Amino acid sequence: MKGFFRSNTFKVLLTVITVLFGITMLSVTTGSSSFSGFITDIFYPMQSAAVSLDNSDTKLYDGYSQQELKKICTDLTNENDRLRNLLTDYYNMKEENALYRDLLDIKKEYKDLELTGASVIGRDPVTAKEKFTINVGLSDGIRMGDPVIAASGAVGVVTEVYDYSAVVSTLFGGKVKTGVKINEATESGVVTGGNVLGESDYLVMDYLKIDTDVKEGMIATTSGSGVNFPPEIPVGTVVLVRDSSRDSSKTALITPFVDEEMVERVFVVTNYRTAYKSDEGGE
């Protein structure tokens, strides 16, 4: 090896390395690709000849040449892209349409309510039933305590509000105590999320009269009393009436109309306090 370090070959190698180091530094710092382009230009004729040979019109598959197959493939890819875009538009429009339809239904039913449509943008996998985040906030006129409803009924209340988002605590959330009534049985009370094992999927309506007429299948709606919801918004269906564990009163278990874990589109009532609570205050 000693002989090699003294040889002319080593000197040539050193010279070449020095020159190459310079070229490398130059191309790294300036990003110069002119020499690279020169090399590509040298081999371009050979490459293009090879490509055209590669694309020769030999019938390869089922009577189609490679060129024909390539054209068919390109056409199908383009068609596929176009249809995929159409499908995306279709789904967007479908979703938008559903949102507007819900909005229209609610607007028809609750003419005085000012509603702001919102989409659910975040759910914690553990507390999905208790709260979720929506894509509207202070900038959209949302305030703390605003009621949140969906096309099929009451959902919850805004409990945290930021500039462009808000957190909604659902009827199961514990932070919300909603006044409800059952018109068929002239009963009213407060519902909270079930906190007993086996009842966590139900809303619980406590303190019903001992001789209550509430039966399975009856509909519970908001009563308008309390601070949370306007009256007559559907809450759910009574599925069970049982004795209370605390006293001699009765307790009703209610299945909510809105699936809190799955709901995607909701509406925030932004004028509830001014339109309803001020009226009450005036009275």
Partner 1 sequence: MIMKESFNLDISKFTKVLKYLLYFSLFALFFVLEGLPSGFPLIFSVKPMLVLSLLVILSLLESEMSTIFFALIAGFLLDVGMAPLGVSSLFLCIVCTFLSNFSKKKFHVRVLSATLSTFIVALLYSLYIFTAVYLIPGSERASIIFVDRFIPSILYTVLVSPLMYILILTIYTAFKKKLN
Least distance to partner 1, CB of residue 90, Å: 33
If one asks whether residue 139 binds partner 1 (CB under 8 A), the answer comes out as no
Helices (runs of H) and strands (runs of E) counted in the chain? 6, 14
Asked whether 193 and 229 are in contact (CB, 8 A), the reply is no
Q: Concatenated DSSP letters for 238-280?
A: EEEEEE-SSSSSEEEEEEESS-TTT--EEEEESSHIIIIIHHH
If one asks whether residue 73 binds partner 1 (CB under 8 A), the answer comes out as no
Three-state DSSP class for 24?
Answer: helix
If one asks whether residue 67 binds partner 1 (CB under 8 A), the answer comes out as no
Nearer to partner 1 by Cβ, of 16 and 196: the residue is: 16
Q: Give the separation between CA 21 and CA 11, rounded to whole angstroms.
A: 15
Least distance to partner 1, CB of residue 15, Å: 10
Nearer to partner 1 by Cβ, of 47 and 274: the residue is: 47
Least distance to partner 1, CB of residue 58, Å: 12
Contact region for partner 1 (CB under 8 A) — 22-30, 105-113, 219-227, 243-251?
22-30
Contact region for partner 1 (CB under 8 A) — 29-37, 100-108, 122-130, 161-169?
29-37
If one asks whether residue 77 binds partner 1 (CB under 8 A), the answer comes out as no
With the C-alpha atoms ordered 235, 239, 242, 246, is the resulting torsion angle positive or negative? Answer: negative
Asked whether 214 and 185 are in contact (CB, 8 A), the reply is yes
Q: For residue 72, how many C-alpha atoms fall within 13 Å in the half-sphere facing its CB?
A: 7
Cα 180 to Cα 105, 139, 217: the distances in Å are 22, 31, 15
Least distance to partner 1, CB of residue 122, Å: 25
Contact region for partner 1 (CB under 8 A) — 2-10, 227-235, 236-244, 267-275?
2-10
Q: Which has the closest alpha carbon to 208: 244, 176, 239?
A: 244
Nearer to partner 1 by Cβ, of 31 and 63: the residue is: 31
Residue from 6, 54, 245, 283 in contact with partner 1 (CB under 8 A): 54
If one asks whether residue 4 binds partner 1 (CB under 8 A), the answer comes out as yes
Q: Give the separation between CA 69 and CA 5, rounded to whole angstroms.
A: 58
**Residue ranges binding partner 1 (CB under 8 A):** 1, 4, 7, 9, 12-13, 16-17, 20-21, 23-24, 26-28, 31-33, 35-36, 39-40, 43, 46-47, 50-51, 54
